[in-house]
Amino acid sequence: MFPQSFQFNERYLITIHEHVYSKQYGTFFGNSDKQRREAHLEEKTYSLWGYIALHHDDFTNPLFEMPEITSQRILFWSGLYSRFEEGSHPREPLIDLLSITQSHTSSLEDHGRQLSATISNVRSIISSAKAGGKYLSSMVSGGSTSNAAPPVSLSNPTPPPPPPSSNVLSNNSSTSTQEMEKRFVELKTTLVEKCQS
């Protein structure tokens, strides 16, 4: 993944892995360095590290680049060494702020979808109320049956009864429905702008 960052090659790792279990060298006998010293393994066996040192060129990575360790390249780890300081750290809260912003944005988008659904429902109610008002005005102006109600003037301050199909809104005047539509459109525009910002 980072071929220039590791000093040794794959053969080095495979050799160590094989000799952990092969017991050909005494390097990995026992469970600790103390046990190896008590068993005097350095006198009785060979070290794997000596073998690797003798064949150093076989185990090095030719693409390895020595890291710069000058004092100018050393960065202060404020998250570790300044963790008990009061106040905000300049880099730490950015991740927290980003996650909070994402959750807030998603909740605003959900709320915007709910409001859009509400607006479309109210628009359908308003359009059905308008259709009912047209139905009522056509009955008032053109109906000539014997059972028809007496003609009602649209300028009459008392609202006519709603048609049987719409029992939600009254058909008093078209200006109030237009104002309501205008308010809903403004509310939707405001929510969309807030979600986008």
Measured between alpha carbons, how far is 187 from 170 in angstroms, rounded to an integer? Answer: 23
Q: Which of 136, 18, 45, 125 is nearest to 36 (CA)?
A: 45
- Let me know whether 24 and 73 are in one domain: yes
What pLDDT digit, counting tens, does each position of 169-186 carry? 444 556 667 777 788 788
pTM over 0.85: no
pLDDT at 134: 66
- Let me know whether 34 and 97 are in one domain: no
> Angle between the 174-196 and 92-142 helix axes, to the nearest 10 degrees?
160
Q: Is residue 36 part of a domain?
A: yes
- Let me know whether 75 and 124 are in one domain: no
For 123, the domain range is 89-129
Q: Look at residues 47, 82, 117 and tell me which one is the last residue of a structural domain.
A: 82
25-29, 112-116, 144-148, 177-181: which range is least confident on average?
A: 144-148
- Considering its fold, how many domains does the chain have in total? 2
